[in-house]
Amino acid sequence: MSDGNESILNLEQEVVRAVSDIKEFSACCPSLGLCTAICPLKVTVEDGRITHITNHPDYACCVQGHAQRSAVDDPNRLKYPMKRVGERGEGKFERISWDEAISLYAGKIQEIGGKYGNQDILFYSVRGTMGLARLAAKTRFVNVMGGMASIWGSLCISNKFLAAPMMYGTMNTESDLDTIKDSKLVIIWGYGFADSNRRVDFAGQGMRIMMDARERGARIVVIDPFFSQTAEKADEWIPIMPGTDGAMALAMANVIINRNLYDKDFVARHVSGFEEFKQHVQQYTPAWAAGITGVPEKVITDLAVEYATQQPSALFPGDGPSRSGRDPSQWVLACGALAAITGSVGKPGTNATAGFGFKKGIGIGDLGAAEKNKVSLQINECQVADAILFGKALQPDGKIAPASLRMLIVHGASVINQAGDSNKIVKALKKLDYIICAEQYMTPFARYADLLLPATTIFEGNDCGYYSQAGHVMVYSEKCIEPMYECRSDLDMWAAVAERMGVGAEFHSDWKDVDWIRETLKASADVPHLADVTLERLQQEKVIFVGPRPFIPFQEQVEEGKPFPTKSGKIELYSQQMKDKGLPPLPTYNDDFEHARHPLAGKYPLTICTPHSVAWLHSRSNNRWVNELYPVEVFINPADAAKRGIEAGDSVQIFNDRGVIERKANVSERVPAGVIAMHQGPWYKPGTDGVDRGGGVNTLTNDTIDSVGGAGTYNGVLVDVTKA
């Protein structure tokens, strides 16, 4: 053993040497809650360079946090300001100075705004870096520029949050997942806890809570077109055709009502519109739903009976279905109705419907008040291409406004990759006069910029993550290293542009990132659970927990008889608010999208579903480590593969009228026949033949949005697959 000990001696000396110049910092995962967990990270810096990034010792983070060193060091990072020299989108740029870059940024706003008006300039919001430091600053910048067209709706979750208020009178309708420790049955409907960190504060927390509940005896049912790692840990997986979830939920209501299994006492005390709802759901029989969803009638009936009789039960409507089919907000409302008629509301072990948790939000007061934007024109985040190509923009109030966009300013957003119908967006971008993009990497969108500004990563400044969906945690992110290369933060760019335009003082261009955090918190002092959160406390404690846990909405209503925050004081199954908007007042299934029964299925017989991967937060993660370990594949059922002569590992092309993607086939039972699954996130990269070999799934999706939530509905479009 002497040899071994000798080698260890060497190792110990090495460790001692290394320890002497190591500095450790506490940061926040750059997702900053976009995913929607907020995981603190431990960052090791040696000689001004990041040498390790791993999870905080007390909290796990997901692979994306662990891969951050690979992301910071990525050779694809933008290093200095550049202007386009070739054709737009060709990817040819020339290095320029920051002075010239700021002159161009300010000059183009003045030129285009001066000639045509600022409504022709669209400022595209900053979801790639959505920390507290930029929250108020980004809207304040727009305001001091004299206003610009802004974004409404979302690429993601607004279909979930804007539906529930129509029935429950508030967005805060979702219980903390912790409550399932008291549930007998848990229905996880299109929620990928293993892949997307939803509904929790930290990565993995959802799966741990779910596996713990199951070990204690709860039965877990997962409804999902894709057999995820979440489904693997459940007692039952119910595969369903993408976009048809509303049909199944309404059929479950039909069974519960017609079998007289509803909670009469709860309905009498807390529900209005029950009779209308009862009559309305007669049309949605389990046999009808079976034909639409692909879920056998008996499975639908059995689950409905179990949900109604095994109380307390919790149904968690997730993010996949809320972005599927036509008007998935109707499904969110149908799930809310299921909870209401079974009395699964306001009690431990239950969940009302999809929404926020207890979070009341952060106020930004006058700091960045969107109302002060002098330009009223808003563009739906999913339909920027339509606004550019056709000069029309759907407004949040449902009216159509004329639009004549000429210029686009984007900070940290992947416009081409993450909105539906990437090829259409590219076509639209070519029509614009000028595009400014501040980014960390040469993304598919960055290639289309005229002015390209290199942005810092989270580790190169101070910020704070505040937006976990469960809403119980704020994580401070310390500056770990100086900005790399010639990179600057968005804040510094806006300050410089404001100075150049002569409105520096108005913008607060002398404020540093910590000042923005401090002042934004001050502006939020009227939010009760934030009253004692200060910059100093964040800097000292790094991780701060806020709010009661577990949050179970409507306990006061159910236990103490207080009114629900609706007009009637009850859960409104018949929603006058919906009727006033010209929308169905009762939860309704709308079959008007691309599915297996659609005429287009004759040409494109397969439906795609686009789940999240644990390694990708939307388009974030295109780094070497992730690309090595997470191959970009298309899951196709063996029956569909056999028909097309496709074998595992073959390169295949997936196509429809909107585009063509090439990926490797994973022939798998994880999708039912008729459905293919492709993880979203990988980068759109069309070749000269137009085939996207990067595998950006939105090459195939469309840009339809929900009529309540204004967010995209990407799941449930038709394609076909062939061997490449």
**Could you write out the DSSP letters of every residue in 367-406?**
TT-GGG-S---EEETT-HHHHHHHSEEE-TTS-EEE----
Q: Please, which residue, 28 or 67, has the CB nearer to another protein?
A: 67
Amino acid identity at 442: M
Name which of residues 238 to 267 contact another protein (CB under 8 A): 239
Residue choice 510, 556, 559, 628 for contact with another protein (CB under 8 A): 628
**Nearest one of 242, 227, 289 to 674, comparing CA atoms:** 242
- 20 is an interface residue for another protein by CB under 8 A: no
Residue choice 127, 447, 618, 670 for contact with another protein (CB under 8 A): 670
Q: Please, which residue, 275 or 647, has the CB nearer to another protein?
A: 647
Least separation, in Å, of the C-beta of 68 and another protein?
Answer: 8
Residue choice 29, 34, 38, 61 for contact with another protein (CB under 8 A): 61
Q: How many residues bind another protein (CB under 8 A)?
A: 46
- 555 is an interface residue for another protein by CB under 8 A: no
State whether residue 361 is helix, strand or coil. Answer: coil
The conformation of residue 138, written as its DSSP 8-state character, comes to H
The two structure tokens encoding residue 498: 């404001």
Least separation, in Å, of the C-beta of 629 and another protein?
Answer: 6
Strand partners, 111: none
d(CA 169, CA 565): 5
Residue choice 10, 20, 260, 688 for contact with another protein (CB under 8 A): 10
Residue choice 1, 265, 397, 580 for contact with another protein (CB under 8 A): 1
Least separation, in Å, of the C-beta of 218 and another protein?
Answer: 15
- 13 is an interface residue for another protein by CB under 8 A: no
Residue choice 46, 79, 86, 229 for contact with another protein (CB under 8 A): 229
d(CA 326, CA 704): 8
Please check whether residue 478 is in contact with residue 424, taking contact to mean a CB–CB distance below 8 angstroms: no
Contact region for another protein (CB under 8 A) — 10-18, 449-457, 541-549, 604-612? 10-18
- 673 is an interface residue for another protein by CB under 8 A: no
- 641 is an interface residue for another protein by CB under 8 A: no
Classify residue 358 as exposed, middle or buried by CB count within 10 Å of its CB (0-12, 13-18, 19+). Answer: buried
- 581 is an interface residue for another protein by CB under 8 A: no
The two structure tokens encoding residue 604: 């494109």
HSE-up of 594 (CA within 13 Å, CB side)? 27
- 353 is an interface residue for another protein by CB under 8 A: no
d(CA 679, CA 676): 10
Q: Please, which residue, 276 or 669, has the CB nearer to another protein?
A: 669
Contact region for another protein (CB under 8 A) — 240-248, 389-397, 441-449, 666-674? 666-674
**Nearest one of 212, 179, 526 to 357, comparing CA atoms:** 179
HSE-up of 180 (CA within 13 Å, CB side)? 29
The helix or strand, by DSSP H or E, that contains position 123, with its residue range, turns out to be strand 121-124
Contact region for another protein (CB under 8 A) — 92-100, 133-141, 224-232, 264-272? 224-232
d(CA 685, CA 62): 26
- 654 is an interface residue for another protein by CB under 8 A: no
Q: How far apart are the first and last CA of the chain?
A: 57
**Could you write out the DSSP letters of every residue in 405-462?**
--EEEEES--HHHHSS-HHHHHHHHTT-SEEEEEESB--TTGGG-SEEEEBPPGGGS-
HSE-up of 575 (CA within 13 Å, CB side)? 27
In angstroms and rounded to an integer, the radius of gyration of the C-alpha atoms of the chain is: 26
- 46 is an interface residue for another protein by CB under 8 A: no
Least separation, in Å, of the C-beta of 324 and another protein?
Answer: 21
Binding flags for another protein, 187-216, as an x/- string (CB under 8 A): -------x--------xx--xx--x-----
Least separation, in Å, of the C-beta of 106 and another protein?
Answer: 41
Q: What residues make contact with another protein under the rule CB under 8 A? A: 1, 3-8, 10-12, 15, 52-55, 57, 60-63, 66-67, 69, 194, 203-204, 207-208, 211, 227, 229-230, 232-233, 236-237, 239, 614-615, 625, 628-629, 668-670, 672
